[in-house]
Amino acid sequence: MKITVIGTGYVGLVSGTCLAEVGNDVLCLDVDPAKIKILEDGGIPIFEPGLQEMVRRNVAAGRLHFTTDVERAAHFGTIQFIAVGTPPGEDGSADMQYVTAAARNIGKYMTDYKVIVDKSTVPVGTADAVKAAVAGELAKRGVNTPYSVVSNPEFLKEGAAIDDFMKPDRIVVGCDDEQAALNMRALYAPFQRNHDRLIVMDIRSAELTKYAANAMLATRISFMNELANLAEKLGADIESVRRGIGSDPRIGYDFLYAGAGYGGSCFPKDVKALIKTAATDAGMTLQVLTAVEAANDAQKHVLSAKVKARFGATLAGKHFAIWGLAFKANTDDMREATSREVIKDLLAAGATVTAYDPVAMPEARHCFPGVAGLSYAENQAGALANADALLIVTEWKEFRSPDFDAIKAALKTPVIFDGRNLYDPKLVRGMGFEYLAIGR
């Protein structure tokens, strides 16, 4: 099957590469020549475990191609995936200019039947806007070429995206005609040989499903974070509480880990967009999600508040080590990362910071260009030098079982602020550390 993927960001590149992996002929389009040059040279513009090897393998096999030629891309695939960015606007709504631009380009150049698939996370009603954009371009040309528009939201976790695509737990397809549904079933057949995972529904329900899924997961996280803050004041242990409620099959264990707040490109943006959609399109206030967002914004400052409670509100002359910059492990993504707020808080209070992350430091340098008081270390040990305390902000595996004796020897004071609850409090405190975690 010939497939065009518009956008070589996180969703587009993973989707296109995985579709090529099962034998499809895939052309990935991006209007950014720098991205295409990286890909043609054998690199990738993002960090995702296993993706670079898969890209190189499929390029070598002749199944995966890259281009900046919009007309070529519009002609190439019967199925046209729109996987461009939908960044949040100032009011929290999703910016749809790149989606509608992609749709117009398809309509401008298409000459035969196309299935146009919204893969980007988009507000309810976007398919209607895409249909209108394509129809407008066809009308300008005076042609009536047939096409279908489908909503097929992605459910990829950064750090595990290849497994999520190759072994999906569900494939949501929103469409309103049988031909499009048959094309989508054929496309996803290689990914569901064990049993049918494809759920077909109307387009608007599919569009809402993506937002609802991320909003639910964000809600669980904020709920546990608030409960952790309460547990701390009541003398309870949130880890024990997590096991106690997670054992209920109606609740389960997933997304019940307390921490220093969620970040990334999905949860913050999608919660904001859903709140905005409800207000603008339905005249509703989503009270639960409004509280979820407020709780998460506050949670990102809990770790720095603990530092100030321990060392004083003014941190002049204090130096801190930070392990972890990415919003979560196995990615270099620092969008809405908790580390950004922690670093800002510490620097604003007069402290200096040395940070280490296995992959996100180049991205951190873009986020904090030339910021005084912030430096970077090449490894975990380097970050500890001359530090008054250690802050753990991202749950990288290499942080889970460190050399505590070396940490204690390097720090001026044996204090660990753990924003991801990686360690057993009794064990760490038994080694002579002050251990301040979240809800422990």
The torsion defined by the Cα of 359, 363, 367 and 371, in degrees rounded to 10, comes to 70
| Alpha helix segments (H runs only) across 313-436 | 338-348, 361-367, 380-384, 404-410, 425-430
Rounded Cα gap, residues 24 and 192, in angstroms: 16
The verdict on whether 266 is a catalytic residue reads yes
DSSP single-letter state for residue 66: E
DSSP single-letter state for residue 157: P
Q: Which of 18, 28, 175, 266 is catalytic?
A: 266
Rounded Cα gap, residues 357 and 324, in angstroms: 5
Are 410 and 385 contacting, i.e. CB atoms less than 8 angstroms apart? yes
What six digits make up the tokens of 119?
Answer: 């893969």
Are 189 and 195 contacting, i.e. CB atoms less than 8 angstroms apart? no
Are 310 and 415 contacting, i.e. CB atoms less than 8 angstroms apart? yes
**What positions carry a catalytic annotation?**
266
